Amino acid sequence: MAPSHGHPSLILPPPVLFGLNLALGGGLQRIMPWFIVAGQLIWLGMAAIGFGLTVSLWAVVTMHRAGTAVDPRRTATRLVEHGPFAFSRNPIYLSMAVASLGVALWVNSYWLLLSLGVTLAILTYGVIKPEEKYLKDSFGEPYLRYQRRVRRWF
Protein backbone atom coordinates (compact mmCIF):
# COMPACT_ATOMS: atom_id res chain seq x y z
CA MET A 1 0.00 0.00 0.00
CA ALA A 2 1.35 3.42 -0.92
CA PRO A 3 1.70 5.90 1.90
CA SER A 4 -1.05 8.47 2.25
CA HIS A 5 -0.25 12.11 1.90
CA GLY A 6 -0.33 14.33 4.91
CA HIS A 7 0.87 13.63 8.39
CA PRO A 8 -0.42 12.81 11.85
CA SER A 9 -1.91 15.58 13.95
CA LEU A 10 0.46 15.87 16.92
CA ILE A 11 -0.07 17.82 20.12
CA LEU A 12 3.54 19.14 19.94
CA PRO A 13 6.72 18.13 18.12
CA PRO A 14 8.52 15.62 20.39
CA PRO A 15 11.72 17.70 20.80
CA VAL A 16 9.57 20.62 22.00
CA LEU A 17 7.72 18.32 24.40
CA PHE A 18 10.99 17.02 25.88
CA GLY A 19 12.38 20.57 26.01
CA LEU A 20 9.33 21.67 28.01
CA ASN A 21 9.91 18.69 30.30
CA LEU A 22 13.44 19.85 31.02
CA ALA A 23 12.32 23.46 31.51
CA LEU A 24 9.48 22.55 33.86
CA GLY A 25 11.39 19.99 35.90
CA GLY A 26 14.53 22.12 35.95
CA GLY A 27 12.57 25.20 36.98
CA LEU A 28 10.86 23.35 39.82
CA GLN A 29 14.22 21.93 40.94
CA ARG A 30 15.65 25.43 41.05
CA ILE A 31 12.72 26.82 43.06
CA MET A 32 12.20 23.84 45.39
CA PRO A 33 15.15 21.44 45.26
CA TRP A 34 14.09 17.79 45.60
CA PHE A 35 16.95 15.33 45.29
CA ILE A 36 16.74 11.66 44.33
CA VAL A 37 19.59 10.58 46.62
CA ALA A 38 21.99 12.26 48.98
CA GLY A 39 24.98 11.53 46.69
CA GLN A 40 25.75 12.24 43.08
CA LEU A 41 24.46 10.30 40.08
CA ILE A 42 26.57 12.14 37.50
CA TRP A 43 28.20 9.10 35.86
CA LEU A 44 24.95 7.16 35.60
CA GLY A 45 23.25 10.24 34.16
CA MET A 46 26.03 10.83 31.64
CA ALA A 47 25.86 7.18 30.53
CA ALA A 48 22.09 7.46 29.98
CA ILE A 49 22.52 10.71 28.03
CA GLY A 50 25.24 9.14 25.89
CA PHE A 51 23.11 6.06 25.20
CA GLY A 52 20.12 8.21 24.31
CA LEU A 53 22.10 10.39 21.92
CA THR A 54 23.69 7.33 20.27
CA VAL A 55 20.37 5.58 19.66
CA SER A 56 18.83 8.81 18.39
CA LEU A 57 21.66 9.37 15.91
CA TRP A 58 21.42 5.74 14.75
CA ALA A 59 17.66 6.09 14.19
CA VAL A 60 17.98 9.40 12.32
CA VAL A 61 20.70 8.02 10.04
CA THR A 62 18.60 4.88 9.42
CA MET A 63 15.58 6.98 8.42
CA HIS A 64 17.65 9.24 6.16
CA ARG A 65 19.17 6.23 4.41
CA ALA A 66 15.67 4.76 3.95
CA GLY A 67 14.60 8.02 2.32
CA THR A 68 11.77 8.93 4.66
CA ALA A 69 11.03 11.92 6.87
CA VAL A 70 12.45 12.01 10.38
CA ASP A 71 10.03 14.76 11.44
CA PRO A 72 6.73 13.06 12.39
CA ARG A 73 4.83 16.10 11.09
CA ARG A 74 5.96 15.29 7.53
CA THR A 75 4.69 12.61 5.18
CA ALA A 76 6.20 9.15 5.75
CA THR A 77 7.30 7.66 2.44
CA ARG A 78 8.60 4.31 3.71
CA LEU A 79 8.01 2.00 6.63
CA VAL A 80 11.41 1.55 8.31
CA GLU A 81 11.79 -1.79 10.09
CA HIS A 82 15.56 -2.23 10.33
CA GLY A 83 18.31 -0.74 12.47
CA PRO A 84 16.97 0.46 15.83
CA PHE A 85 13.43 0.11 14.43
CA ALA A 86 13.87 -3.67 14.63
CA PHE A 87 13.91 -3.32 18.43
CA SER A 88 11.57 -0.39 19.07
CA ARG A 89 8.85 1.23 16.98
CA ASN A 90 9.85 4.56 18.54
CA PRO A 91 13.63 4.54 19.04
CA ILE A 92 13.92 8.32 18.75
CA TYR A 93 11.29 8.91 21.43
CA LEU A 94 12.86 6.19 23.54
CA SER A 95 16.26 7.83 23.16
CA MET A 96 14.83 11.24 24.14
CA ALA A 97 13.26 9.64 27.22
CA VAL A 98 16.51 7.90 28.21
CA ALA A 99 18.49 11.12 27.69
CA SER A 100 15.93 13.03 29.79
CA LEU A 101 16.24 10.38 32.49
CA GLY A 102 19.99 10.86 32.26
CA VAL A 103 19.63 14.60 32.82
CA ALA A 104 17.40 13.92 35.86
CA LEU A 105 20.05 11.59 37.28
CA TRP A 106 22.91 13.91 36.40
CA VAL A 107 21.35 16.84 38.26
CA ASN A 108 19.83 14.51 40.89
CA SER A 109 16.27 15.84 40.51
CA TYR A 110 13.01 14.17 41.47
CA TRP A 111 11.20 17.03 39.72
CA LEU A 112 12.75 16.03 36.40
CA LEU A 113 11.74 12.41 37.00
CA LEU A 114 8.15 13.42 37.75
CA SER A 115 7.92 15.78 34.79
CA LEU A 116 9.35 13.00 32.58
CA GLY A 117 6.46 10.76 33.64
CA VAL A 118 3.97 13.45 32.62
CA THR A 119 5.87 14.01 29.37
CA LEU A 120 5.73 10.30 28.51
CA ALA A 121 1.97 10.24 29.08
CA ILE A 122 1.50 13.29 26.83
CA LEU A 123 3.87 11.76 24.25
CA THR A 124 1.92 8.49 24.23
CA TYR A 125 -1.52 10.02 23.79
CA GLY A 126 -0.66 13.24 21.95
CA VAL A 127 2.05 11.98 19.59
CA ILE A 128 2.46 8.20 19.41
CA LYS A 129 -1.22 7.20 19.20
CA PRO A 130 -1.96 9.69 16.36
CA GLU A 131 1.27 8.68 14.63
CA GLU A 132 0.38 4.97 14.87
CA LYS A 133 -3.06 5.64 13.39
CA TYR A 134 -1.46 7.61 10.57
CA LEU A 135 1.03 4.82 9.85
CA LYS A 136 -1.72 2.19 9.93
CA ASP A 137 -3.81 4.26 7.52
CA SER A 138 -0.78 4.91 5.30
CA PHE A 139 0.82 1.46 5.18
CA GLY A 140 -2.00 -0.89 6.18
CA GLU A 141 -1.22 -4.54 6.84
CA PRO A 142 2.59 -4.21 6.62
CA TYR A 143 2.46 -1.70 9.48
CA LEU A 144 0.08 -3.92 11.50
CA ARG A 145 2.50 -6.87 11.10
CA TYR A 146 5.38 -4.62 12.17
CA GLN A 147 3.33 -3.40 15.14
CA ARG A 148 2.68 -7.01 16.24
CA ARG A 149 6.34 -7.96 15.84
CA VAL A 150 8.09 -4.94 17.43
CA ARG A 151 7.25 -3.37 20.77
CA ARG A 152 6.52 0.34 21.09
CA TRP A 153 9.39 1.19 23.43
CA PHE A 154 11.79 -1.79 23.65
- At 56-79, the pLDDT tens digits run 999 999 999 999 999 988 899 999
Query: How big is the chain by its Cα radius of gyration, in Å?
Result: 17
For the chain, which residues make up each domain, given as ranges? 40-149
Minimum mean pLDDT range among 10-14, 82-86, 142-146: 10-14
Q: What is the CB neighbour count within 10 angstroms for residue 121?
A: 10
Q: What's this model's pTM, rounded to 2 decimal places?
A: 0.91
pLDDT at 37: 87
- At 1-34, the pLDDT tens digits run 444 456 678 889 999 999 999 999 999 999 999 9
